[in-house]
Amino acid sequence: MKQKRFPYFSFGRAEDSCAKAVKRRRERTLWHFFLASIVGCCVVVSIASSATADGRRPERWVRLSPATSPPARSYLAMTYDPASGKIVMFGGYDGTGYLNDTWTFAGTTWSQVATPISPPRRAAAQIAYDASTQKVVLFGGYNGTRYLGDTWIWNGKTLRWNRAQPAHSPLPVTSPMVFADPNGSVDVLGGFDGRFYQYSMWQWTGSDWNQLSLVMLPYARSSAAVGVNAVTGEVVLFGGLADINPVNTWTYDGTAWTLQFPSTQPLWVYSASAAFDPNLDAVVLFGGGSGGVDQNTTWEWTGSDWQQLRTARRPPAREGAGMAYDPTLGHVIIFGGQNSEVPLGDTWELIP
């Protein structure tokens, strides 16, 4: 999908007033970061040309052929749920409408879950597993007319959604960063409320949202890629959309955010996908949009630097895909997304 509207799903041929406003914001973002992207491109060329000399066996992406699969979609919400031992996926945009179906993946095939109630239709929401409550938390998104600020809880043991009723909550936003922090809680960072990129961070307590007061946060943004190192607990964030330069890498140790200064890093991307791969002992980043062009490169965060993986085969370029590590399969998988605004419904695994 072209980078011309912030909620990042097709509105068809006619754009509504919100989409037009977002388009203007995107154009300003592109202007701010054009030079930074050129610099990043030069870095990528340097990395690609030198990677073959490191003696490392190329990783490869392999397309899976599950017997059942969700319909094609982008800007879905997806994470691994240890309570059920399955990956759970919700919602998204299929090119014509917003979705609210729930699917699980257990290593071989996708299964749709018939839930008594579900969160309303939306795309660009995010979900993460809360180790403290052993449930998955969903927040935010966009339904074509409104930015959403409701909180939903997925119980992987009962396969049910329930709407939470917190006394406090982040502002309604699309494309927030939702992740499990090193303390075992789910956090919400940033997002876009239709006017501003948010500079705030909230933590789910199990029944309410508590706004955190940290010395520093990553510059206000949305649509950044976030992965959590399951061994060290370190959160890694890269890219996104913002009014202030998002072409940077941040890490979070559960207490403080730190701006990193890697010698190499990916191109500026928004709506890329990230997940921790224990086989590589690294957070892996794939795809994303960059200046309106969808990408299909694969990177890993080594803990101090970004390194591009020399994948022998790779999925088609995409943004807005779901990505998670599946312990049953033993690999990171990626599902869906969109390429030049065409929704995708393929499933791939990364084999080290």
Distances (CA, A) of 320 to 3, 323, 344, 350: 12, 10, 10, 18
State residue 56's pLDDT score: 63
* Core vs surface per residue 27-64: b (16+ CB within 10 A) or e: eebbeebeeebeebeebbeebeeeeeeeeeeebbbeeb
Rounded to 5°, the CA angle 80-275-130 comes to 40
Q: Residue written as tokens 């989409």?
A: 19
**pLDDT tens, residue order, the chain (352 aa):** 333 333 333 323 223 333 333 333 444 444 344 333 433 443 443 333 334 445 566 899 999 999 999 999 999 999 999 999 999 999 999 999 999 999 999 999 999 999 999 999 999 999 999 999 999 999 999 999 999 999 999 999 999 999 999 999 999 999 999 999 999 999 999 999 999 999 999 999 999 999 999 999 999 999 999 999 999 999 999 999 999 999 999 999 999 999 999 999 999 999 999 999 999 999 999 999 999 999 999 999 999 999 999 998 999 999 999 999 999 999 999 999 999 999 999 999 999 9
pTM for the full predicted model:
0.87
Q: Residue written as tokens 């309410």?
A: 208
Q: DSSP code of 171?
A: P
Q: Residue written as tokens 């977002």?
A: 22
* Token pair of 172 as six digits: 């309604």
Which long-range contacts (C-beta less than 8 Å, at least 24 apart) are formed by 300-305? 301/227, 301/236, 301/238, 301/249, 303/229, 303/232, 303/234, 304/260, 304/262, 305/262, 305/263, 305/264
CA-based nearest residue to 222, from 249, 195, 191, 198: 191
Rounded Cα distance between 266 and 35, Å, is: 14
Phi-psi region of 140 (alpha: psi -120 to 50; beta: other; left: phi over 0): left
Tally DSSP H helices, then E strands, for the chain: 1, 28
State residue 58's pLDDT score: 81
